[in-house]
Amino acid sequence: MGSRGMKTSTIAGIVGGVVLLAASISGLAGYLWAQNASGIEPPPPRGLPAVWPTKHGEIPRPVPMPTGEMIAALPQSTAGHVLCQALPPKRWEEILGGKTLREAQSDACHLVTDTLEVFVRLDRPGAEPPGPQAEEPEQVDVDGRPGQLEYAGAKLNAKLTVPLAAQPPNASEDIRTMLRIDIGQDPNHRADEGLDEQVTAIARGVLTAAAAPGPGLPPVGRNGVITARQTEPVPGHGIVDGSWPMISWQLCTRLSRELGTGVGAADAKFKGDCAVRGVHATYTQDLSPRAYTTTIAGRPASVQQNAVTVKLADNSEQALTLSTDGKAVSEADLPGFTGRVLPALLGR
């Protein structure tokens, strides 16, 4: 993006409460644009990045769309993929006015055109106070939800926040009830459409796709305990890339059915966890070195005494671990038990 007197910079903090904080995107700074200092002749648009995805980004993978308030309970490594997939590529390009590249960066969707950069993410209320250069927020209606629109940098940057659900009491960091959209544009090539129209269109698209009528957030008790609920597998996905409560409820439903008990006897926790009659199932997204030496139900698996771990997807580190106290299911029978419950948990 070169020109006489023109300089570009990489953002390293929030500018006016709108320009993005790099640390919140897994340490990767975005690149919103500096003002043209010379005022002589604007340079051409900077063009799309030559390397994509970026070092900390991933090409969005197909994921199930949450419903109701479940969008506020998406695991961090899933949220960016859901937000990127909420609108089809053609719709993104209609809103942003041209060829658009998308990548999932942790819990955010990062998009760029040759003149715009956008981050769409989930956030907690009050996570970031307004900066000194931000203008007074405007109240905007987003499909009946009260959004707040802020500008900074001579209206070259804008931020829209929209509530997704009421913030539960003592909510953990795994519940993020605000949709936040940050957008910045090349000062030498302002878009014909206003930033307010673009961020509002994005918010409406996300809400339509990923917050359609559905279940509410469950009350979370001490140590993350929630009430178990009968929940059938998500077709084609099961627990893969689901929200935390939906994962727990599917685990409880399948374990209870296989062990011949009602789901009311299951002990569920908010963060992808359920135990039934001494069999404990836990879903994780953490990267951990593991040797998968066998397969169960067609998926790579590791069998170690009283525990079995299964890699759920080829394109992520999602895994399911089942362990047993040896009473209802013996250690020797645990691999076979896992093979019986796994297909439904994969949405087959």
- Give 62-101 pLDDT, tens digit per residue: 999 999 999 999 999 999 999 999 999 999 999 999 999 9
Can you tell me the distance from the alpha carbon of 89 to that of 185, in angstroms, rounded to the nearest whole number? 20
Can you tell me the distance from the alpha carbon of 137 to that of 128, in angstroms, rounded to the nearest whole number? 14
Q: What pLDDT score does 24 carry?
A: 34
Nearest to 283 by CA among 324, 317, 326: 317
Can you tell me the distance from the alpha carbon of 348 to that of 342, in angstroms, rounded to the nearest whole number? 9
Tell me if 63 sits within 8 A of 78, measured CB to CB.
yes
Can you tell me the distance from the alpha carbon of 255 to that of 253, in angstroms, rounded to the nearest whole number? 6
Can you tell me the distance from the alpha carbon of 251 to that of 341, in angstroms, rounded to the nearest whole number? 9
Tell me if 303 sits within 8 A of 284, measured CB to CB.
no
3-state secondary structure of 258: helix
Q: What pLDDT score does 187 carry?
A: 77
Q: What pLDDT score does 298 carry?
A: 97
Tell me if 73 sits within 8 A of 175, measured CB to CB.
yes
- Give the pLDDT of the chain (348 residues) as one tens digit per residue: 433 333 333 333 323 333 333 333 333 323 343 333 334 455 666 789 999 999 999 999 999 999 999 999 999 999 999 999 999 999 999 999 999 999 999 889 999 999 999 999 999 987 665 554 556 889 999 999 999 999 987 778 999 999 999 988 766 789 999 999 999 988 777 665 689 999 999 999 999 999 999 999 999 999 999 999 999 999 999 999 999 999 999 999 999 999 999 999 999 999 999 999 999 999 999 866 678 999 999 999 999 989 999 999 999 999 999 999 999 999 999 999 999 999 999 999
Q: What pLDDT score does 133 carry?
A: 54
Can you tell me the distance from the alpha carbon of 338 to that of 236, in angstroms, rounded to the nearest whole number? 19
Residues comprising the chain, all counted: 348
* Cβ neighbours for 142, distance < 8 A, ≥ 6 positions apart: 160, 162, 200, 203, 204, 207
Side by side, the strands of the sheet bearing 145-152 are 101-105, 108-112, 116-123, 178-185, 157-163, 145-152, 138-142
Q: Where are the alpha helices (DSSP H) in the chain?
A: 76-85, 89-96, 195-210, 244-259, 334-345
In the beta sheet, which residues pair with residue 315? none
Q: What pLDDT score does 276 carry?
A: 98
The Cα-based distances of 46 to 156, 173, 189, 255, 307 in angstroms read 16, 37, 10, 54, 53
For residue 327, what is the DSSP state?
A: S
Can you tell me the distance from the alpha carbon of 301 to that of 308, in angstroms, rounded to the nearest whole number? 7
Measured in Å, how far apart are the chain's first and last C-alpha atoms?
A: 49
Read off the tokens for 108: 């955010």
Tell me if 266 sits within 8 A of 255, measured CB to CB.
yes
Tell me if 97 sits within 8 A of 88, measured CB to CB.
no
Can you tell me the distance from the alpha carbon of 255 to that of 321, in angstroms, rounded to the nearest whole number? 13
Q: What pLDDT score does 29 carry?
A: 28
